[in-house]
Structure 1
Amino acid sequence: MRGRVTETSTEELYERFPHLRKIDLVWGSPECRKFLFMLMTDTRGGTRQGFPREHGATIMSLLLEHDRRFPQFENEISPNNHRWGNDVRRRDYG
């Protein structure tokens, strides 16, 4: 059996959402970052229910870990051509 690929504990997330085991298969790739971002984004026109708090926190932790460990993919275009933080509320001060 293969060891854990992430520092973030995923056992409870995968137990509740077995289809998310895909994360382990694509970990360390641009596809993984896009998938994690998609999970945290409403791509269903407001009909997405969202994840329970503890599982949403795990997914967010996985996204942050992926960005830290694989910074070369951090600026990959996400679904719908949005990037983290690129909205009218964000202002660069400098």
Structure 2
Amino acid sequence: METPGIQASRKVDTTALYQRFPHLQAIESEWGTRACRRRLMNLLTDSRGGTRQGFPPEHARTIFGLLAEHDRLYPAFENDLQGQAWTEYSPR
């Protein structure tokens, strides 16, 4: 379900993402906050020790698009690393 006003003001269409993953609609209530950016970043990184399956490409693109749009609209949160140092990050 779309939140009136929020979806209309954004360029990224989340309809298919929310239909497939309804729990991600929480992004709408957090939009414009540090918590939203953290949620988007957490969705795009493996925080389950390699057991995370990942999103289908079309939904991953939507999440990346949301992150980019959020960073553009709310740049104050862009450099938020959630308290992690880059040395703690180890890509696979």
| TM-score category, normalised to shorter length | 0.7 to 0.9
2:26 pairs, out of 22, 27, 33, with 22
Aligned-pair CA distance for 1:77: 2.0
If each structure's helix is expressed as a fraction of its own residues, which one has the higher value?
2
Q: State how far apart, in whole Å, the 1-side matches of 2:85 and 2:24 are.
A: 22
Give the share of equivalent positions with the same residue, in percent: 49
Calculate the aligned-residue CA RMSD, in Å.
2.3
Change (3 A) 1:40 1:46: same
2:53 corresponds to: 49
Query: Counterpart of 2:13?
Result: 9
Provide the secondary structure at the position in 2 that maps to 1:44.
coil
* Structure 2: distance between partners of 1:54 and 1:46: 21
2-structure distance, mates of 1:56, 1:73: 21
The runs of at least 4 aligned residues of structure 1 exceeding 3 Å deviation read none
TM-score (norm 1): 0.81
After TM superposition, the score normalised by the length of structure 2 is 0.83
Structure 1 runs not aligned, ≥5 long: 89-94
Aligned length: 86
